[in-house]
Chain A
């Protein structure tokens, strides 16, 4: 029971004590977060002689508009017969002829080809207003969808290895965790050298272990291998972090359960399947959510290793946000990208939580 005077005292002191943290988080996290939503609907630039104007959803249209064009084979204007070129192949109008100053299709004006496929004699072309951003979204999703299960799985495997009762096991735990404390920027640079096409360490090692049968690959210079290379390196750097989280989950499982299953004559796999895994459900949700959140913000690796290339194969959402918002000083588009990213992160983590909950029942 406190007296009235003490309560008054606690009211003022309570406020005062919470004030610095509240003010800082409010001003530097909450305010910019809300400003981002506001800027996303304006034409705000970093420095501009013109006043900022409300532009509605046009930034989002610029980034996200998609369309499908059907290219029909060109026909002879007189006979309506399908024309063929000298080699006997069908000829098609260019995408550009349909999307540049075409009064019949104002929506498609300025759009560019993203990808296409053949459908009978026709070609279907998916066009986007911002092809680079589309690629950034797809790459980010690939990164998240590969890294989340792979990194989570490898981390669990390492945690199970480290959870053995062996003399000196802590030494290995220390080693596996080591890359986590190293900056991702340092790691990226180091691996840029390891991945290098001509003098790269990885090529040399692969060549050695295959007795020279392996042909050197320019890992970061090839659109097919650049993103997988970044994925592998990112897992190498961060897997120890999640190993430790799994490990703390493993250590909450009562030893008595293992003893009981030993008495029942359970195999190692059965022990994992029926004792370890059910005991790790909460940890699994946490690991997946944390990896997904981190994976969505992929930036440093790309900035240091590839700058989004080759041919946009490593563009990511955050890299694009920085390119527009910072390099091109287009705060509005950068903010719109941030809003899209936030929407994705929140949606995915809600879906993930829902799915992991569901499998619980």
Chain B
């Protein structure tokens, strides 16, 4: 792998392209964070120079205060976190238990059902969004206020349709297939029920795939846009991505927009930087198919 060079620092020049590319990926996000600290007028003026990337001039958290005053930002954040966390938890349970059944149990129709479920991998939400909208509008619901029809403007319309999906089932199926069957046999001989085997034998071994599935589901849910846009006309149930609309009335206050963008993005970035190995491994594992 080594390339013979005569320079004093043989590998230093190899960092030059790496750093240049890194700047392309970092600068827009760095610009977002810096801009969130500046008044809109200064932000616009600074964007003509490298001051755009520097925390100079009139630096304050005023934009954040203004953003909270303009829109129910805390509510949007709560909605997003609640919807994402609930969906991830439900999907991990429903999909892992289904995968467990597909891989370890014998029952009539198993292979057909598994094949049909996994085939839905090729159906993106964009293709079913329109008919799904009509469908959820006619579904019944029993809530705190009794019986009602139509799921629009609710949490469940953003949670339940996504609480199981083909990709998550697929990830668990692939992982379970590689586990030794003897584990199951041994537990069966000891008289353990299937449910006991699921949560006492298999799931404790499924840490890596659970992390992968959780990360992928988390990213998909938190960043979702099209579906919540269609089903949340009411402010009460809006997640952060749809809440952005509040910042685009008449004159756009760019400072506030940047503050809001920073607020909804930086937690994810920190989460990513802390767990970056797991994040990258989760994407890589979707690639190891063939």
Contacts and interface: CB of A to CB of B under 8 A. Distances in A.
B5 interface: no
A248 B284 CA distance: 6
Interface of B: 1, 11, 14-15, 17-18, 21-22, 24-26, 28-29, 31-32, 35, 44-45, 47-49, 52, 94-95, 97-98, 100-102, 105-108, 110, 113-114, 116-117, 120, 122-124, 126-135, 137, 160-166, 169, 188, 193-195, 198, 219, 222-223, 225-226, 229-230, 241, 244, 254, 257, 261, 264-265, 268-269, 271-273, 276, 279-280, 283-290
A127 to B, nearest CB: 27
Contacts of A275: none
A179 interface: yes
A200 B47 contact: yes
A78 to B, nearest CB: 56
- Classify the secondary structure of B's interface with A: helix
Nearest to A337: B130
A300 B287 contact: no
A247 B122 contact: no
A346 B122 contact: yes
Interface string A160-198: 010011100100111111111111111101110110000
Interface of A: 2, 6-7, 9-15, 17-18, 20-22, 24-25, 28-33, 35-36, 39, 44, 46, 158, 161, 164-166, 169, 172-187, 189-191, 193-194, 199-201, 204, 208, 236, 240-241, 244-245, 247-249, 258, 282-283, 285-286, 293, 297, 299-300, 303-304, 318, 321-322, 325-326, 331, 334-335, 337-338, 341-342, 345-346, 349
Given A182-B265, A193-B254, A175 B130 contact: no
Contacts of A193: 35, 47, 254, 257
B163 A15 contact: no
Contacts, number: 276
B272 A39 contact: no
A44 B131 CA distance: 10
A26 to B, nearest CB: 8
B1 A258 contact: yes
Contact of A29 (B108, B128, B261): B128
Instruction: Please name the 10 residue pairs, one residue from A and one from B, whose CB atoms are nearest each other, closest first.
Output: A325-B130, A14-B107, A21-B98, A245-B287, A14-B105, A17-B101, A334-B130, A28-B161, A183-B223, A248-B284
